[in-house]
A and B are shown apart, each in its own frame.
Chain A
């Protein structure tokens, strides 16, 4: 450690060093930064602050660091800045409680974009990122192929063998393996399925998503049926791609923009109905396409129109117009609020309205239901320790409710909850809210017997 005699000397030393500030594309908006008056109201809502008690791990601390980089008081490539920008789960719980309305999400995303642009990376890291991020998310067909392989792997018994023999542990893939639920259904290919009630009163277009259309395709089909029960003629527009949220969270803005343009094109082709999302993380990202494409003259306005059409499934149907389900489900459930639903989209009441409508279902609220479970996109893969601590805390709260089912509305949360419950030997099932409602409407069977038809369209040629 360098010899430092007083804080003053230290300051002088710092000032004389050449500080790299924000530059180039995607810089954090200075006006937005100035909104923070460091009052500290965000602190208790921040998962990383709750775990560490360290101001640097708080939203206020991180915003202060961003300001310091902008003001030339901190180096952009200071390891402490890097650490905090990526330690943040981007759960945005701080935004929902901020009295000054600070838009934290876009600021941390821009800071990450800065680090992506300016931080030198070793070659192996660049290759790993390319394989880890671009391979599955750049094209949904690859995600389908991967999931197909996964399904085969799970069914063949290879999974069980590898687990038993400890090979996975040695390869460091145990977490990833434990997170992924059994893939039960074939992928939902966009453009090939739709749900058409006879007495449709409106149209809806399902946003299919990458993980949702593959690993959780059953949830998307359930959502289609729930929408149809509520009078929406629902299709799944072809040519849509992954929403790009994971790229945005990682500061890979150009990759995200590419996907955003593809999706805007895809949904413009199919009229003006609501764009319904079953993954809270995707919904939050889709609703911010206008921000993402603000500098794109061709897409700026179209992005705004697109963003205005985006609704979460719960937001669209969890109102007082919800068609009452009739099939009783005598079970006790608890609800885990996805951060990007509760905080980023401020949707908290509608999911509870939906759960409350199911006959026989008893909702027991858990403590800290809106505290991040530690999933945060791919956070639980790259920052395991913090994610595990949060997951354990969540699992304990779930156990305390005594509920046999945890309901959520986001694939990342579902996977993280599953792992955390397993690790803590807690026997509770994790389900998506669409599945609960679908069951209460009678599920697939009722859909076939009902007044509306499930259609498998011929693929567009």
Chain B
């Protein structure tokens, strides 16, 4: 490829200031938010900072002509290497496309560009009594475009669902540069739901340049409760009992003793230091509804063996209780310089069992593992604490995480609730998917991106990339029908 000619053409599209190509400028596009050691860094061929759909489309078309891979990037807070370009690709950073184009308070929607920051969208529509429900812990920094790519969740996805439940339409630049608009399916619409395929596709199928999001009405009333337990088991049982009773809290979060020990001295949120686990429960809705749910939850917590139950009395107190949870990862610095976490999901009914297994792994690998997670939907976040400057620590962490993932999968769980697969977990895909499943996914990838130029070498494990797909598909079909191919 003639790099100089390619760069010159990129500059005619994005302008001199919109194209980065010097080694020093590209140095800072070799990483994302992933943990060192879990995801390799790699310097891209170039990075562009487009300001419009037209520019994105032109860049993609150009890259298609030159055969260069393209990788979309938002704030680069992802934890699975999704925004790191493999194979000398061009990074399309969408940070300059950060306008909110339209807010429709009647239909409760907003049309935004991908670079809009998650929390800032909620803040800007807040005065109109609305909010954007997906609230990943990185919401202060991460972009809506990134949320779409990763199908992000957050504490409130227990009640409100993940990103895919809040996307009503997408403007997409396809791998050949074509711009198209895709509507999400409402009731009674036939055909394949393409928005559902695109959300969470980690940039493998196209680049989203406009997003029509659903906004939720701000709840009339919100209560936040803190229940403390003498054992993790009791807390896990309480989670199952609350959901089992047909109550749907806005969020239901669990923190173990190690987490409390890091959080409480840091923020003085009022978590009992002697508790083995605490549950942070938020309920929202109309006043009467919330009062009733709160009473029920307090009763169930008591029956499940809660040692104490406290309700926040003011908005400030609610915020403080939440601060302990949302900033829990940050407080881990008090226990160890580094942490590595996975976000496997297990069936809620097997939470107790899984947490015991996590504890076993912690002992086997001589690692402190703190548990702070979305208990309501069984989405674990075991935080393995370590010091990467100690030799061997990173390797030990990677081995332990392998065990963790295998354990969770054996409980009937999945690899990732919200962080994505990227390059971090592509090697684990075969744990939960059969060759047929993966061949089917590769087939979809192939239909969108036959030359495999969109965020290559991600998600699908090696061996399931396009070239191999047809052979594998044939092999899988042959196995299914009991035919032994040559």
Contact = CB atoms under 8 A, between A and B. Distances in A.
Interface string A39-78: 1111110000000111110101100110010000110001
B338 A54 contact: no
A100 B337 CA distance: 8
Nearest to A1: B4
Contacts of B49: 52-54
A39 B120 contact: no
A44 B139 CA distance: 10
A347 interface: no
A56 B77 CA distance: 15
A44 B141 contact: yes
A61 B27 CA distance: 8
Interface stretch (B88-96, B245-253, B469-477): B88-96
A53 B96 contact: yes
B275 interface: no
A101 B333 CA distance: 8
Main secondary structure, interface of B, reads: loop
Given A44-B117, A53-B98, A35 B337 contact: yes
A11 B43 contact: yes
B127 to A, nearest CB: 12
A100 B98 CA distance: 27
Contacts of B389: 34
Contacts of B33: 38-40
Nearest to B31: A38
Contacts of B388: 34
A5 B43 contact: no
B45 interface: yes
Interface in A221-265: none
Contacts of A24: none
A99 B35 CA distance: 14
Nearest to A99: B330
B456 interface: no
A37 interface: yes
A83 to B, nearest CB: 9
A6 B88 contact: yes
A10 interface: yes
B27 A7 contact: no
A10 B25 CA distance: 13
A260 B98 CA distance: 44
A5 B49 CA distance: 22
A99 B140 contact: no
B331 to A, nearest CB: 8
B182 interface: no
B31 A4 contact: no
Contact of B95 (A53, A74, A100): A53
A3 interface: yes
Contacts of A55: 28-29, 47, 76, 93
B241 interface: no
B140 A97 contact: yes
Contacts of A400: none
B329 interface: yes
A58 B327 CA distance: 22
Contact of B333 (A3, A52, A61, A99): A99
Kindly name the residue among A11, A60, A73 whose own CB sees the greatest number of chain B CB atoms within 10 A. Answer: A60
Nearest to A6: B88
Nearest to A78: B24
B138 A80 contact: no
A353 B104 CA distance: 37
A14 interface: yes
B115 interface: yes
A65 B22 CA distance: 14
Contact of B43 (A7, A44, A80): A7
B329 A73 contact: no
Given A64-B27, A65-B28, A80 B338 contact: no
Contacts of B75: 40, 43-44
Select the residue from A8, A44, A53, A60 with max chain B CB neighbours within 10 A. A53
A85 to B, nearest CB: 12
B23 interface: yes
Nearest to A102: B333
Interface string A402-424: 00000000000000000000000
B142 to A, nearest CB: 8
A6 B46 CA distance: 11
B177 interface: no
B388 to A, nearest CB: 8
Contacts of B142: 40
Interface in A1-34: 1, 3-8, 10-11, 14, 34
A64 B24 contact: no
Nearest to B50: A53
Contact of B25 (A11, A56, A100): A56
Interface of A: 1, 3-8, 10-11, 14, 34-35, 37-44, 52-56, 58, 60-61, 64-65, 68, 73-74, 78-81, 97, 99-101
Given A6-B88, A40-B77, 4 more contacts: A1-B4, A6-B45, A40-B75, A43-B75
